[in-house]
Chain A
């Protein structure tokens, strides 16, 4: 595997379910990100981790819980979601310690549908 991978690619869940999204980067990067992409809206930054430490929680509801066990892996744990949480969830990574101008490399995303 190369680049940034995400699993699963598609997920359908009920509002009472608990599920997790997984992201893995094979680039040796130090920073990882979760974004939400909804129709007709700009990409929204949700969480940022640098060297496995959370540095950003962009006012995300507590029903989304991130986890970064090491610099290569990032999880997004989901519970009691709402239908409006249906979106494409993108993971990204960047090389350096959150420097401006650093390129973020994106995974293919997980298409989440909440019924």
Chain B
């Protein structure tokens, strides 16, 4: 079965600093990879996803993530944090590697705090 590990349940950065949220997955074949963001009292919103092609994926709000097959990782980065980035971030996988292709397996989430 697929699994997703997000290192660090809580990450705190200063405004203007680099944001790095870590995600590792376990799958026998490269899956499809997603990052979602959840603001307080809202549902999940897609930030970016990797299916095929270029391994560096750009998303909304200045975020990007790089698929590294050798490291089974899909870390999320943003060069300069903004106060509005404070939210919970979820990494998810679907597709090849077990189970029905459409099923999303989520990590436990990382709460990002941005300090002024």
Contact = CB atoms under 8 A, between A and B. Distances in A.
Interface stretch (B12-20, B43-51, B60-68): B43-51
A94 B46 CA distance: 12
Interface residues of A, number: 25
A105 B49 CA distance: 13
12 contacts: A6-B43, A42-B108, A43-B90, A45-B103, A48-B102, A101-B32, A101-B51, A101-B95, A103-B49, A104-B46, A108-B41, A109-B42
Given A31-B102, A43-B106, A48-B102, A100 B43 contact: no
B104 interface: yes
Interface residues of B, number: 26
A11 B76 CA distance: 34
Interface in A69-115: 90, 92, 94, 98-109
A11 to B, nearest CB: 14
Contacts of B104: 43, 45, 104
A101 B100 contact: no
A101 B49 contact: yes
Nearest to A107: B43
B41, B90, B105 — which one has the most chain A CB atoms within 10 A of its CB? B41
A40 B109 CA distance: 9
A108 B101 CA distance: 25
Contacts of B45: 106
Nearest to A48: B102
B100 A42 contact: no
Interface in A41-86: 41-43, 45, 48, 56
Contacts of A6: 43
Contacts of B44: 90, 92, 106
A4 interface: yes
B46 to A, nearest CB: 5
Contacts of B103: 45, 56
Interface in A16-45: 31, 40-43, 45
